[in-house]
Chain A
Amino acid sequence: MDITLNHYLAVAAVLFVIGLMGVIVRRNLIIIYMSLEMMLQAANLTLVAFSRFNHHIDGQIFVFFVITVAAAEVAVGLALIVALYRLRQTTQVQDLTTLKF
């Protein structure tokens, strides 16, 4: 059985949906954050897949940029979460309601 573009896209879609469900359902900030990353990787996977099947190198280059930026973003995001944890001793979203009215 040939591995076609659709297989890649299906995997990416599954990955995306798992990430989305994680973002929506989970209450722990770190888990939400990891789920978010998972959605990003799903997007990366589609980009690579399209790049491979369309014989066009642009998508792969783009993915490198995304990975770089995501790494920086992870650094900032995790740092924020750690700072928040130090302040509040929790990473549960339902406990962080200061900005709600």
Chain B
Amino acid sequence: MDLAWFLLLAPLAASIAILLNLHRKPNYAIGASVGSASVCFLTALAVATGAVKAPTPFEWISVPGLTVDIGMILDPLSKGMLLVVTGVGLLVHIFSIGYMAHDPSRGRFFGGLSIFMFSMTGIVLADNLIMLFLFWEGVGLSSYLLIGFWYEKESAAQAANKAFVCNRIADFGFMLGIITFWWIMGTVSVDPQILGQCYAKASMPQFSSTLQEWGAAQTLILHPGGISAHSAELVTLMVVALFCGCIGKSAMFPLHVWLPDAMEGPTPVSALIHAATMVAAGVYMLCRIYPILALSQAGMFLIACTGCFTAIFAALIAVQQNDIKRILAYSTLSQLGYMVMAVGCGGPDAAMFHLTTHAFFKALLFLAAGSVIHALHEEQDIWKMGGLWNKIPLTFWTFAIGMIALSGVPPFAGFFSKDYILTVAYTYGHGFYWVGVVTAFLTAFYMTRLVAVAFFGPPRTDAAKHPHESPPVMTVPLVILAVLSVIGGWGVYEFGIQSYYHNWSLDVLRDDGISYQAPAEISSAVPSGFVFFGILLSAFLYVNTASDPLNIPVLARKFYIDEFYDNVLVVLQQICANIVAWFDSWILEGLILRGAAYLSAGLGELLRLFQTGSLQTYAYIFTLGGGILIYITLFAH
């Protein structure tokens, strides 16, 4: 058997073992789960060095016209992503040993983590869209299980449902996109070479005008009759539909609502969802199928706009949040907006770069936040913290490194990737660039606010006065991630991402004539200046304050999106459902169906009146009838 299968089999085996038996023995469950994560990481290392080759795929569905393999793509893109996923995943596993040490159901928790790892590695390795979708849904399922881990809490159960349903709504579009893709291209493969061919054939001049002539490219088309003259619109629709999947999984506006609520799960889960697995899957998918997205200019523009809007929208909300995890959640939304914008602007390499660095510092921030929460006995409100910086120093310093990296201060990891995205955005459209710069300012502002309020100033509650530093099993992952957050920007891009995209010709990536070089008129100094201004302004406002000097309800209430969904969409849907149900039980079943029954019964009642049961009446009627007959036969002529 090929060694690479261990990437999928190890976590799957661990989760099955935990489901069947080990959930009763938490320590064995932890052993199985962390062991499988280590096996994954080691295999990923072996894969990255090229020691392990892609295994031979096997047919999962095979009927005439539709073949779906379970196979693996091992190219620089997936190798790099694999390292991030398994590496950060392993650190989160280790951190969880300490964080969940006192939870009686931790066996179940680690089972969920293993399913999560299984699904996420599956997405990274998938060599076709159906296989990707399989694991895609698996990620949704495992996030459902983990967000609802404390299912006795009504809010956790609600958040888990919300996450799953939001993802389902998006997957509705994604599925449509996948099938349309298959319908146009005749394949579901995401192999870079096949995608390159698809792009080359589809971008022939005929493609956008009339696709009747596209019969020339029959090798790729399975259903020539299916392509109409409206194919350009069809391709755009396909791109938008595929992007829908990303909207759900990477929590773009308007389906972003599930991500902040996903905070209901244990903190390591948030780290996993936000950094290495779930939300990264959406961006990774976009980068994976980038040549297909590039077929539609309109689609790309929509992607860029959605990303851009989400970036600034979420950053604005984050400015007024008070829950430490919620601030980080909105910052994730904002950073994801950056990545999606980068894809839309024609820089999937920039998006992957930022995805990687973001995985380091966001995992770091969440785990450090977990450490803070752990230290303060489940306190999450930053206004109830304060003065922590010298009491839990290791947590503070790692958190601070994460914050600086996220803000994009040179020369930390976030600076390089963010700068690259801004460059790409500038070449695509100046508006995107300026929105990105403002978002960078806001990011620096709210992250500084978080650190200033939570770690400086006087302790605001008793719990904050006597925090206790976390055990080494929790702090060691923090230190490792902190180191990565510092140096992550230096070699990652050159290591894998760039070489992957250079396999394709330049025009797949960007329109002709736009080069990679940063235009001369912009420099990194502009965004960096904004970032420093944000940090200083925020530090000025928030160090040593007892309450928030800014009070912007519309931001604190998240632009009322949740209220809109709960009170308008959900209620509307329920009203529709009730009307239809009323129709079903009263009109269809009541009036028509039971009406037919009552009609028969009523006719019977009517006819029953003739059955008096009196023999003499019958005799009388009989005689009468006989008399009439006799009269007719004798006298009627």
Contact = CB atoms under 8 A, between A and B. Distances in A.
Contacts of B616: 23-25, 32, 93
A81 interface: no
B206 interface: no
Interface of A: 20, 23-25, 32, 93, 97, 99-101
Given A24-B616, A97-B613, 15 more contacts: A20-B619, A20-B623, A23-B616, A23-B619, A24-B619, A24-B620, A24-B623, A25-B616, A32-B616, A93-B614, A93-B615, A93-B616, A99-B613, A100-B613, A101-B613
A86 B69 CA distance: 91
A93 B615 CA distance: 9
A100 B615 CA distance: 11
Interface of B: 613-616, 619-620, 623
Contacts of B623: 20, 24
Contacts of A100: 613
B608 to A, nearest CB: 8
B589 to A, nearest CB: 29
A25 B614 CA distance: 11
The 8 closest A-B pairs by CB, nearest first: A100-B613, A24-B620, A24-B616, A24-B619, A23-B619, A20-B623, A97-B613, A23-B616
Point out which of A23, A24, A100 has the most chain B C-beta atoms below 10 A from its C-beta.
A24
Contacts, number: 17
Dominant SS at the A interface? helix
Contacts of A99: 613
Contacts of B614: 93
12 contacts: A20-B619, A20-B623, A23-B619, A24-B616, A24-B619, A24-B620, A24-B623, A25-B616, A93-B614, A93-B615, A93-B616, A97-B613
A11 B428 CA distance: 121
B607 to A, nearest CB: 13
Contacts of B619: 20, 23-24
Contacts of A20: 619, 623
B626 to A, nearest CB: 10
A100 B623 CA distance: 22
Contacts of A23: 616, 619
Contacts of A97: 613
A19 B615 CA distance: 15
A20 B625 CA distance: 14
A97 B623 CA distance: 23
Contacts of A25: 616
Contacts of A101: 613
A97 B619 CA distance: 17
Contacts of B620: 24
A93 B619 CA distance: 14
A32 B615 CA distance: 11
A25 B623 CA distance: 13
A69 B619 CA distance: 22
A21 B360 CA distance: 110
A101 B619 CA distance: 19
Contacts of B615: 93
B591 to A, nearest CB: 29
A99 B614 CA distance: 10
Nearest to B612: A100
A20 B623 CA distance: 8
B601 to A, nearest CB: 15
Contacts of A32: 616
Nearest to B620: A24
Nearest to B614: A93
A79 B623 CA distance: 27
A61 B493 CA distance: 126
A100 to B, nearest CB: 3
Contacts of B613: 97, 99-101
A32 B619 CA distance: 12
A13 B619 CA distance: 17
B616 to A, nearest CB: 5
B611 to A, nearest CB: 8
A7 B479 CA distance: 134
Nearest to A32: B616
A23 B617 CA distance: 10
Nearest to B623: A20
Nearest to B616: A24
Nearest to A26: B616
B612 to A, nearest CB: 8
Nearest to B621: A24
Nearest to A99: B613
B127 to A, nearest CB: 76
A101 B614 CA distance: 11
A6 to B, nearest CB: 15
Nearest to A36: B619
A25 B615 CA distance: 11
Point out which of B613, B615, B616, B620 has the most chain A C-beta atoms below 10 A from its C-beta.
B616
A24 to B, nearest CB: 5
A95 to B, nearest CB: 12
B635 to A, nearest CB: 16
Nearest to B615: A93
A100 B619 CA distance: 16
